[in-house]
Chains A and B, each alone.
Chain A
Amino acid sequence: MLVRAVLVCSWRRLRPFLVANPLVAMVALLALPGLPIASYIGGGRVAPSLSKALLEQDGVVEGFVAAIVFSGALAGAIVATVAPGLAVFGSQITVAPIRRMRFLWAGAGFPLALGAFAFSSLLALAALPVAAHLPAGRLLVLELVFAALCASVLGALAIESALAAARARPVAILVLCFIAALWIVAASVGGSRGLGPFAVVTSSLSAAPGDVALRSAGLAGLTLVASFLWLYLAASRAPARFQAEPRLILLQMPRGPFRAGIVVAIKRLSRRAELRRQISALTLLCVLAGPALLVFVPTIQDVVVLGLVAYAAIVGVALLVLAAAGVDEEGRWLWNVAPGGARSRPAGNALGAILLALFTFLVAVAPSFVIARPSFSLVVAFVGFACFVLGVAAISGTIVPWRSDRVVEQIASYTACVVLVGVLWYLVGKVAEPLADGGVPEPAIFATLGLTAIAIGVGTSVALARGEGS
C-alpha cells in the first residue's frame, strides 16, 4: 500500500512534466533502451585492453577494485545522507501504528532497490565482455556486481552509523565496530589493508581465480546483512529535525539582485540539513580515504587515487548545484512578485551554488593533492573538469530539479546530470582533440572548457527560470 502510494505520487508528479516537455520525454524514451546497448558496446570496446592490463600490469587490479569500491561507497554515502526517510509521507501518516522500517522501505528502500537493479544490470552488461577475456569467466560478472552493491550498502551503513553515533545511539557504535572488525579480518585474509573485504576480488581478477562463486555468495550475503542494518538504522532516525540558529553568518546581504542571489544561494544551500549531511560525509570520505589509499595501498598509482578522490568530490558537490534550482523554487512566492531581478537573481543563484560547490571540491581534494603533489597541468585538468560538471549540473538541475524529500526526483536529477555530462563530454572530446593535436596546451583547454560550461550553466538557469505555477 505504501509502496504503491509512493509510486503513484511519483508518476503523477512526473506525468505533467513529461507532457509539458515532450522533447525530454522523447530523449528519455530513446535513452532507456540505448543505455544497456551502450553499456555492452562500451564494455566490449575496453575489454581486450582492460583484461590485458589487469592480467599483466602491476597495480592495475588493485586500482580497478578500488575504483569499484570507492564508487560504490560514494553512491552509498550519497544515498544514506539524502534518503528522505519518513518525511516523504508527512507527519500524519508517519504516526500510523506500523513499523518504521516499512515506511523507509516504501519511501526509500524500494525505489533505491529498483535503481540498484537497473544500475547492476548496466554494470553486468558492461562487465560481461571484460569477464569473457579473463580466466574467471562470466561468473566474475556476478562478483563484480555484488562487490559494487556491497560497497554501496557498506558506504551507506558507515555514514548512517556515523550520523547515529553522533546522536549517541549505542547500536550505531556497535555497527561501526562491526564494520571495522569486518574490514580488518577480511583485509588480513585477502591481504590488502586498504580494500578490506573487497581484497578477495583481486584474486578473481588474477590468472588463478579460484572459487569465484563462493566469493560472490559471500559478498551477496554481506550485502543483505548490511542492507538490513542500514534500513534499521535509517528507520530510527529522528523523524523531525530542529533547525538550529545558524552560527556562521557568511556575509551581510549586498545590494543588487545578482549579488543578493549569490549570497542567498550560498547561505541557503549551506544551511540545508540534508545537503550539509551529504556534503560533510563526502568531504570526509575524500579527506580520509584519499590519503589512506595513497599511504596504505602504494601499489595503486597516485593518479588513480587522485582521480577517484576528485571524482567522489565532484559527484558530491554537484548535488549543491543540482539542488539550487529546486531550493530556489521554494522562494518563488517572493521572486515572482519582486519588481526586479527576474534575470540577474537566478543567475546569482546558479553562480552562488557553483562557487560553493567549487570551494567544497577544493577542500575535499586538497589533502590528497598535497600528499601526491601532482603536476600543475593535472591540477588544472581536475579543476577544469569539476567546473565542466558543475556547469552541466546547473543545466540539468534547472531541467530536473533535485528535491530533498523526493527520492524519485533525486534519482531522475542525478541521471539527467550523468547522461548530460556523458554526452557533452563525448562531444567536447571531439572538439578538443584537434586543438590538443594543434599544440594548444591542455591546461588552457581545460580552463576554457570549465569556464564555458559554467557560463552556459548560469545562462541556462536564467533562460529557464521558472514562473508561477511551474
Chain B
Amino acid sequence: MNKRLYVEGVGKLFGGFSAINGLDFGVDAGRVVGLVGPNGCGKTTTLRCIVGLLEPSAGRIEINGVPTTRREARAALGYVPDYPSGLAELTVGEFLDLVRTLYQAEPVYDERAHALLTAFSLESRRKTMLVALSLGMRRIVSFVAALSLAPPLLVVDEVTAALDPEAVIVVREALRAAASHGTGVLLATQDLHFAERSCDEVILLSAGRMIAAGSVDELSARYQAASLEEVFMTALGKSGSVDLKQVFGAR
C-alpha cells in the first residue's frame, strides 16, 4: 500500500517531561487511523509533531515519503486543529478562499467546499464571520477547509467535540468518502463510538506510549471486549466506577 504517513521512534520532550515516547505507526492511502487514549496521553502532541507545529525530540516523520519539515510534506497535508483559532474576523467564505490560495488548490476545491458546507447546513453562513459562529461550527469550517483540499494525508484533532449528532454523522461520511478517494486519515478523538464506526485501525496511547494497535475487531478479540470502550478500559486497567457519593454527603 502507498504510505501517506510514516512515523518511526518519535518522541517529544518538554524540559524533563516526556510527552510521547518511541511511537511507531503509519497511515496508508485510503485508511482511517484513530488515535485514542485518556486526557494528556499525547494525542495532540503527536499530531502537532506530524504537522510540523512541534519539533520531535527523537524519531522520524515522513508524509508521502518526504520529511515533515519540508514544504512538499506540508503541501500534502490537511490539518484540522483541536481548537480553531486565528483570523476569526474573516467570514466563512473568506477563510475558505484563504486556505485555497495558500495551498494553491485546484478549482474543484470550491465545489467540494460548497458540497461539504451544504451537507453541514452551513452554506447560508458563508458571509458570517468566524467569530460569530459557535465552537462546533468553527470546527466544521476548519474541517471543510482541510477536507476540500482532498489532501493525501488528513490530520484531524478532536473534530467531533461540540458537534451535534447529525454533524458527527456527516463528518464520518466525509472522512470515509475522502479515504475512498485515496486520502489517508489520522484522527485523534475521545469519542470511542465515533472511532469504532469510522476507523479502519485504532492506536491506543497511554502516558505517551502506544499500548495497543489494530482494527476494532482485532482489539476486541485481544482484550475479549464487546466494544472499543471496553477495550479502552481493559487496556488501561480502569474500572470506570468511582464512588463519589460521600463527597456530597449523600446518605
Contacts and interface: CB of A to CB of B under 8 A. Distances in A.
B94 interface: yes
A5 B98 contact: yes
Given A90-B86, A92-B146, A95-B79, A5 B53 contact: no
Interface stretch (A52-60, A132-140, A237-245, A425-433): A237-245
A94 B54 CA distance: 12
Nearest to B68: A95
A1 B89 contact: no
A95 B51 contact: yes
Interface stretch (B70-78, B194-202, B208-216): B70-78
Given A12-B129, A93-B99, A244 B77 contact: no
B87 A89 contact: yes
A244 B13 CA distance: 12
B75 A97 contact: yes
Interface string B140-184: 001001100000000000000000000000000000000000000
Contact of A97 (B72, B86, B89): B72
Interface string B1-26: 00000000000001100000000000
Interface string A1-45: 110011011101100000000000000000000000000000000
A88 B89 CA distance: 12
Given A8-B94, A12-B129, A93 B102 contact: yes
Contact of A88 (B48, B71, B74, B86): B86
A6 B14 CA distance: 31
Contacts of B71: 97-99
Given A96-B99, A97-B74, A9 B90 contact: yes
Instruction: Give the one of A12, A87, A91, A238 with max B CB within 10 A.
Output: A91
Given A5-B87, A9-B89, A91-B81, A97 B48 contact: no
A90 B130 CA distance: 13
A240 B48 contact: yes
Looking at chain A, what size class is its interface with the partner chain? 20 to 34
B102 A98 contact: yes
Interface in A173-220: none
A244 B15 contact: yes
Contacts of B77: 95
B86 A87 contact: yes
Interface in A76-126: 87-99
B80 A92 contact: yes
B53 A240 contact: yes
B87 A90 contact: yes
B84 A92 contact: yes
Interface in A283-314: none
B90 to A, nearest CB: 6
A95 B101 CA distance: 13
Contacts of B87: 5-6, 9, 88-90, 93
B55 A238 contact: yes
Nearest to B47: A91
Contact of B14 (A90, A242, A405): A242
Interface string A212-240: 00000000000000000000000000111
Contact of B81 (A10, A92, A98, A405): A92
A470 B56 CA distance: 40
Contacts of B101: 1
Nearest to A89: B86
Contacts of A90: 81, 84-87
Contacts of B108: none
A94 B87 CA distance: 11
Contacts of A98: 71, 102
B53 A239 contact: yes
Given A87-B86, A240-B54, A244-B14, A93 B98 contact: yes
A92 B79 contact: yes
B99 A91 contact: no
Contact of B52 (A5, A88, A95, A405): A95
A155 B145 CA distance: 39
Contacts of A87: 86
Contacts of B84: 90, 92
A1 B102 contact: yes
Contacts of A240: 48, 53-54
Given A5-B94, A9-B90, A96 B74 contact: yes
Given A12-B89, A98-B102, 17 more contacts: A1-B101, A2-B98, A2-B102, A5-B98, A9-B87, A9-B89, A89-B87, A91-B81, A91-B85, A92-B80, A95-B51, A96-B102, A97-B71, A97-B72, A97-B74, A98-B71, A244-B15
10 contacts: A8-B94, A90-B84, A90-B85, A90-B87, A91-B51, A91-B85, A96-B102, A97-B75, A239-B53, A240-B48
